[in-house]
Amino acid sequence: MIDKLDADLIALLTEEPRLGVFEASRRLGVARGTVQARLDRLQRSGVVKDFAPTIDSERLGYPVTAFVTAEVAQGDWRVTVVDHLSSIPEVLEVHTITGSGDLLIRAVARSNADLQRVIDRIVGGPGITRTSTVIALATTIDHRSVPLVQSAATDDNGEERRYG
C-alpha cells in the first residue's frame, strides 16, 4: 500500500527521472533519508520496477505500431512461443488474454511493408496458428502510471492515505 508521499515521489520522478534524492527531498519537503527509504521500499516491493529511460520507438525509426492477436496451439506452448516472441526485437509486449485470441502482442515496424516482415516472423514461430492485426493510427494517451499511483494512494472514500 502506498500513501500520498509515495505517490508524490513517484509523480516527481516520472516527470523528472534524473532528479536526485537530495533535490526530490527538498521539493517534497521531507528528509533525504525519508526519500531514500521510500524509494528503497517501493523498489523492494516491486511497485517501482526500474529507472530505465523511456524509449520513443517512432523517433528510433519505428513509426508503425500494431497490435497482433495471436492464437496458439493448445498444450505446452508457453516456453516455445514466449522464447520465439522474445527473439523478435520489434515485439515490445506480449499479454495472455481472454476472448477470441490467446495473446495480445504490441509490435512496431519501420513501415507498413516492414510490418509484414514482423508479422511473418511472429507467425513463423512454433505454436502460433493464426493472427489478426490492427495498426494504431495515433496514440491519444501514451503509457502512463501517475494517475493510477495517485488513485492507489487514496482510500475507498477518496481520502489521501498518510503515513508517519
- Residue partners of 9: CB distance under 8 A and separation at least 6: 24, 28, 35, 38, 39, 42
State CA 43 to chain mean position distance: 16
In-domain check, residue 88: yes
For residue 92, the domain's CATH number is 3.30.70.920
Task: Tell me the longest C-alpha to C-alpha distance in the chain.
Answer: 56
With cell 519501420, the residue in question is 110
- Residue partners of 158: CB distance under 8 A and separation at least 6: none
Confidence of residue 134 (pLDDT cuts 50, 70, 90): very high
Q: Which of 117, 60, 120, 125 is nearest to 86 (CA)?
A: 125
- Residue partners of 108: CB distance under 8 A and separation at least 6: 57, 62, 64, 65, 66, 90, 92, 118
Q: Number of folded domains in the chain?
A: 2
Domain limits for position 6: 2-51
Q: 65-85, pLDDT tens digit by residue?
A: 999 999 998 877 778 999 999
Q: 14-62, pLDDT tens digit by residue?
A: 999 999 999 999 999 999 999 999 999 999 999 999 988 889 999 999 9
Enumerate the β-bridge partners of residue 68: 105, 133
Same domain, 81 and 114: yes
For residue 39, the domain's CATH number is 1.10.10.10
In-domain check, residue 118: yes
